Structures are given as structure tokens and as C-alpha cells.
Amino acid sequence: MSVVALSPISLEAVGAGDAATAMRVPQAIATPQGFSSLLTGGISDVEAKVAEANKLSQAFVLDDSIPVHQVTYALEQARMSLELMLQVRSRVIEGYQQLMTMQL
């Protein structure tokens, strides 16, 4: 189950007794981002994982100094990231299509 923050938490909104709890709030929740920057950052992360997996697999083929489990892990991580990105893309397109078919 994932938790989605609706608004950033500030120390003024929390009370003096809960200041220690507010300091443990992850940075992603404390600083709001736009939807487009969130998607762009996700795409950049996926591209980096695919490039890293490609680099490791090429190094493995050319040189035996890279262990096979490291290459397998990088390839699986890139595959799962790409699959997640495709699921997000499908959901965004589905939401857009639903908005376009709504009658005003």
C-alpha cells in the first residue's frame, strides 16, 4: 500500500510536541513536484537503468571480470523499471481518454 501526500507538512502546522515526527518526513513528501517533472524524472531514471544494464552486459561479454549475477540483477532491474513505466503510460492515456469522453 502506498501513501500519497496531499500537501506538504510544515513545522508550524504540526505542533511543538510532534516536531521530531515532522523531521522524519521523507523529502519527496516535503517538497511538492509538478506532475510533468515527476514523469520526466521517472523516465530519466529508467533510461539510466537501461544504460547501466547495457554497459554491464557489454562489459560481461568482453571481459570476465563482471560477475554474472551483477549483470542479471541490472538487467532485471531495467526490465522491471521499463515495465512500470509502460504501466504508468497506459494509466495516463486511459485517464486522458476518459476525460475526453466526458460530457460537459
Are 20 and 41 part of one and the same domain?
no
Concatenated DSSP letters of 12-50: TTS-GGGHHHHHTS-HHHHS---HHHHHHHHHHHHHHHH
Please indicate, yes or no, whether residues 50 and 18 belong to a single structural domain of this protein.
no
Domain that residue 21 falls in: 1-31
**Global model pTM greater than 0.85:** no
**pLDDT tens for residues 50-61?**
999 999 999 999
Whether residue 51 sits in one domain with residue 9: no
16 with 41, same domain?
no
57 and 87 housed in the same domain: yes
pLDDT of residue 63: 85
Residue 42: partners with Cβ closer than 8 Å, 6 or more residues away: 85, 88
Looking at the structure, tell me whether residues 49 and 61 fall in a common domain. yes
* Same domain assignment for residues 21 and 61: no
Q: Are residues 21 and 68 in the same domain?
A: no
> Phi-psi category of 102—alpha, beta or left, where left has phi over 0 and alpha has psi -120 to 50?
beta
pLDDT of the chain along its 104 residues, tens only? Answer: 444 544 544 444 444 444 444 445 455 555 667 888 888 999 999 999 999 999 999 999 998 788 999 999 999 999 999 999 999 999 999 999 999 999 87
